[in-house]
């Protein structure tokens, strides 16, 4: 028997491959889906079934692509908005045999209306469920977000509560297999651990400690979540079916002249924040490779062209992989060699870093800044972080919202960007710099440094 969890870094997406007796099934495959075929073939199995727990919002589904490659049937939940064109509709009580395993369908709406959970039974232990693929309904340490239907917030939160009761009724012995782990935008309270059981979650998951349905609904509608613009692209592709990933997941190499004269919509420096701040090519923004999955979809629109600047070839390949998985794959090429460019006399820009001492001086009005107008300490953390602790004199715009709200800012003013440490602040500063803002610096250490100074 084969059972394997396949994690997609960056997105913290979890998909699953399992099978026995020559057959295999995949739960929630990603766009670059060759890995499932390779692993199934290595185990002597043929993929015959593909199950989707819901219409994903944060990545392109590989289900239609994998189906074409294997001939497998795709199953998706009933969708009151629009049917998923590449899938058959699975409903409550449907059963599918995968060798000695049986998959039973539970309709579990709430996160989305079309959400399903798939309950696994083993013929060797027929009386109770071995496990359940919970999708985005139940995570390790959290439950799914319910903010995708703003005009039906109470309804969908109530549906999720009811769906969770169905999952809990499977019994404490059942292992849970969610679609995401810690770091995903689909939940903020997930544990770092990616294994759990219904029983453990019943006892320890904070949201499952809320016994009252009404109280649960209120807790869910009071949550704060962000929806990057690319979510709409993912929703559309995951109903109509996305194209296969590029066969070669590595950008074309560009020379210094080519990157300097590039007419790409976005010139993105994927090196570490401190490297970007120390020296970067004019017009480039900072989006460290490890932050691409979280923030690229805020600043890059469908079809817009991208040129990448990296420290090495491996960074370029990793960045392209992250971008392909969210369908932002109009990548014209990549350049390695910022230090080499500096040695050749290429003009560089810098973004200064300042300390807590300098921030305090500016707040007290004792330090001069370069701009002819006012100075603003701009906090780009999310609203939950800011509600926990904030510098009173600072202003707040979430880093992702700068994709539009940069237009509300005065390019003649001086802005110090801050977050918890300086990484998101560097992304924000790089975006503003790419829009022509000249008077920028970054509070190195951010809120963490500020609080440490107060102790």
Helix or strand or coil: residue 76? strand
256-343 and 353-454: same fold? yes
What pLDDT digit, counting tens, does each position of 37-76 carry? 999 999 999 999 999 999 999 999 999 999 999 999 999 9
For the full predicted model, state whether its pTM sits above 0.85.
Answer: yes
What pLDDT digit, counting tens, does each position of 146-162 carry? 999 999 999 999 999 99
Structure tokens at 132: 């359940």
pLDDT, average across residues 94-101: 96
Helix or strand or coil: residue 349? strand
Model confidence at 371, pLDDT cuts 50, 70, 90, reads low
Q: Of 370, 412, 376, nearest to 396 (Cα)?
A: 376
**Cβ count near 122 (within 10 Å):** 16
* Domain 256-343 = CATH 1.20.140.10: no
Could you tell me if residue 430 is left (phi over 0), alpha (psi between -120 and 50 degrees) or otherwise beta? alpha
pLDDT, average across residues 383-410: 96
Model confidence at 112, pLDDT cuts 50, 70, 90, reads very high
pLDDT over 80 at 188, yes or no: no
Q: Are 302 and 233 in contact (CB under 8 A)?
A: yes
For all residues of the chain together, what is the average pLDDT?
95
Model confidence at 125, pLDDT cuts 50, 70, 90, reads confident
Given the DSSP bridges, would you call strands 88-89 and 95-98 parallel, antiparallel or unpaired?
Answer: unpaired
Q: Looking up tokens 């993929």, which residue turns up? A: 47
Q: For the chain, give every domain's residue range.
A: 2-240, 256-343, 353-454
Which residues does 155 contact at the CB level (< 8 Å), separation at least 6? 149
The distance between the two most distant Cα atoms of the chain, rounded to a whole number of Å, is 76
Report the alpha-carbon distance of residue 222 to residue 238 in Å, rounded: 28
Q: What is the pLDDT of residue 349?
A: 94
Q: What are phi and psi of 84, to 5 degrees?
A: -80, 115
For the domain covering 353-454, report its CATH number: 3.40.250.10
The CATH H-level (homologous superfamily) assignment of domain 2-240 is: Ribonuclease Z/Hydroxyacylglutathione hydrolase-like (3.60.15.10)
pLDDT over 90 at 87, yes or no: yes
* pLDDT above 90 coverage of the chain, percent: 89
Report the alpha-carbon distance of residue 51 to residue 91 in Å, rounded: 12
pLDDT, average across residues 234-255: 94
DSSP code, position 373? S
pLDDT over 70 at 171, yes or no: yes
What pLDDT digit, counting tens, does each position of 331-345 carry? 999 999 898 898 898
Helix or strand or coil: residue 432? helix
Q: Are 36 and 6 in contact (CB under 8 A)?
A: yes
What pLDDT digit, counting tens, does each position of 294-319 carry? 999 999 999 999 999 999 999 999 99
Q: Are 119 and 104 in contact (CB under 8 A)?
A: yes
Residue 409 burial class via C-beta count within 10 angstroms: exposed 0-12, middle 13-18, buried 19 and up:
middle
Q: Looking up tokens 């690229």, which residue turns up? A: 296
Q: What is the pLDDT of residue 126?
A: 80
pLDDT, average across residues 353-367: 90
């Amino acid at each position: 028997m084969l059972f394997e969890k396949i994690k997609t870094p960056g997105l913290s997406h979890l998909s699953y491959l399992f099978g026995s007796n020559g057959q295999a099934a995949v739960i929630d495959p990603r766009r670059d889906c060759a890995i499932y075929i390779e692993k199934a073939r290595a185990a002597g199995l043929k993929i015959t079934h593909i199950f989707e727990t819901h219409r994903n919002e944060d990545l392109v589904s590989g289900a239609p692509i994998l189906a074409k490659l294997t001939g497998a049937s795709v199953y998706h939940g009933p969708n009151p908005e629009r049917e998923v064109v590449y899938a058959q509709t699975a409903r409550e009580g449907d059963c599918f045999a995968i060798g000695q395993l049986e998959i039973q369908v539970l309709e579990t709406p709430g996160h989305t209306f079309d959400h399903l959970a798939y309950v696994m039974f083993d013929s060797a232990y027929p009386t109770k469920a071995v496990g359940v693929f919970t999708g985005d309904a139940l995570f390790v340490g959290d439950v799914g977000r319910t903010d995708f239907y703003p005009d039906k917030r109470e309804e969908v939160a109530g549906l999720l509560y009811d769906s969770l009761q169905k999952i809990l009724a499977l019994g404490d012995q059942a292992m849970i297999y969610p679609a995401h782990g810690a770091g995903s935008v689909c939940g903020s309270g997930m544990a770092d651990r990616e294994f759990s059981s219904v029983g453990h979650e019943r006892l320890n998951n904070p949201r499952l400690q809320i016994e009252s349905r009404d109280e649960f609904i209120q807790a869910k509608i009071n949550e704060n979540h962000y929806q990057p613009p690319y979510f709409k692209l993912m929703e559309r592709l995951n109903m109509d079916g996305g194209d296969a990933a590029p066969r070669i997941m590595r950008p074309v190499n560009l020379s210094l002249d080519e990157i300097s004269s590039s007419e790409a919509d976005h010139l993105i420096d994927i090196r570490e924040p401190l490297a970007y701040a120390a020296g970067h090519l004019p017009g480039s923004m900072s989006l460290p490779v490890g932050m691409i999955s979280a923030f690229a979809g805020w600043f890059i629109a469908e079809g817009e062209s991208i040129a990448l600047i990296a420290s090495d070839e491996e960074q370029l390949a990793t960045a392209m992989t992250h971008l392909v998985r969210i369908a932002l794959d109009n990548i014209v090429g990549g350049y390695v060699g910022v230090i080499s460019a500096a040695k050749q006399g290429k003009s560089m820009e810098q973004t200064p870093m300042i300390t807590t001492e300098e921030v305090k001086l500016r707040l007290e009005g004792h330090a001069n800044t370069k701009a002819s107008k006012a100075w603003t300490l701009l906090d780009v953390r999310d609203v939950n972080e800011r509600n926990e602790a904030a510098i009173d004199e600072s202003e707040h715009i979430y880093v992702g919202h700068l994709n539009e709200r940069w237009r509300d800012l005065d390019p003649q003013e001086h802005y110090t960007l801050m977050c918890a440490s300086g990484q998101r602040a560097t992304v924000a500063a790089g975006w503003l710099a790419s829009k022509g803002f000249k008077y920028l610096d970054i509070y190195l250490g951010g809120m963490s440094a500020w609080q440490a100074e107060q102790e």
